[in-house]
Structures are given as C-alpha cells and as structure tokens.
Amino acid sequence: MAVEKLDRVIPLIRHVEDSWSYLEADIRQKIQTYVENLPKEEIENIDIFLSIQGLKSFAEKRLKKATRTELDEAIFFVIPLQVSDRIIELYSESRNFDQANNFASTVIRYATDYSKEQIQKIISVCGDNDQIKHSFDVGSVINSIRKNKNANDDEIDGWLVEADLKRFAKIKDNEADVGN
C-alpha cells in the first residue's frame, strides 16, 4: 500500500469495528508509521487512532509533537483527554504575552470539556506562568472554565486563591482570608 493512500484507511478503521485486527502485519506497520507522522491536515482524526490499542502509542507520540498551530486549527467535536492535556501543556509553555493570548482561544474552545483535574491544572498554570498571568486573555480563560460542570465555583475560587489569582475569584476578600 502506497504511503499517499494510507489516509484512505482512516474511514475503514473508523467505521468497521475491529478492522485493525484483520489487517496484515506489514499494513499495520505502515499505518503505525503513518499515524506517528500524521500529516497536520489529519490531526483531527487522532481520536480514532487513540482509541485503537495497536495505534494508541503511535498516536500519543504524534500528539507529543503537535504544535500550537496544529491544535489551534483542528476542531474536535469530542476532544480526547490526551489532546486536551497537550493543549494545556502547550499553554503552560507560553514564553511571551503573544503566545499566551493567541493560544488562549484554543484553551477556551474546549473549556467545557476539561476534567476537574485539568481545570485545576489550567488555573495553576495561569498562576505559575507570568506570561499567562499578566496576559490580556487570562480572565477570559478563567471565565470560560467556570462554565464547566466538572468543578463548581467554590473549587475554582479555592484554586484561584492558591494560584495567587484571587482577583478572578468570586468570593469576597474577607472569605479568602479566613484560612490565613
């Protein structure tokens, strides 16, 4: 099978249950290599590969190489945990205000999909990275994750106080100082 035709296998793997196990070893190896080097135009299909045991590790390797631009341009209707973890990781690595502000829209796009642990991580990242902490869009990121049903306002406010982002907390100043 020619490399340029491997993208035709995606619909087969997606729509035919257990099709992976019926492919010959050499075809599986070519597909594994394809997934590990998945073209940026196909990054939206990484969720399929993450769900197939024989391709998961190759998809995870590709995801570790995914850039801000690739993840910003991709649209996931149901975002895999590994992809949202990578988005948070890239956001945490913002080295200047432009990077923080530009990638904030990607973080915001999936705000309602993050797990409770990911919400806490995002808030922690916002407090730890001065480029994010003092960016224009940090408030928008925090407001967007408040819409997530996996964490309530009290939990979010507690994490904001811990991250030295009390200015975004909904609690009153005297309530935040009770534990001090």
Percent of the chain, pLDDT > 90?
A: 78
Distance between CA atoms of residues 149 and 104, nearest Å? 20
CA proximity to 60, closest of 80, 78, 76, 42: 80
What is the pLDDT of the chain when averaged over all its residues? 92
Distance between CA atoms of residues 100 and 107, nearest Å? 10
How does pLDDT run across 78-128, given as a tens digit for each residue? 999 999 999 999 999 999 999 999 999 999 999 999 999 999 999 999 999
Question: How much is the pLDDT for 173?
Answer: 54
Give 3: exposed, middle or buried? Use CB within 10 Å, 0-12, 13-18, 19+: exposed
DSSP tag of 130: H
pLDDT at residue 70 above 50? yes
Cβ neighbour number for residue 173 with a 10 Å cutoff: 8
Distance between CA atoms of residues 165 and 42, nearest Å? 37
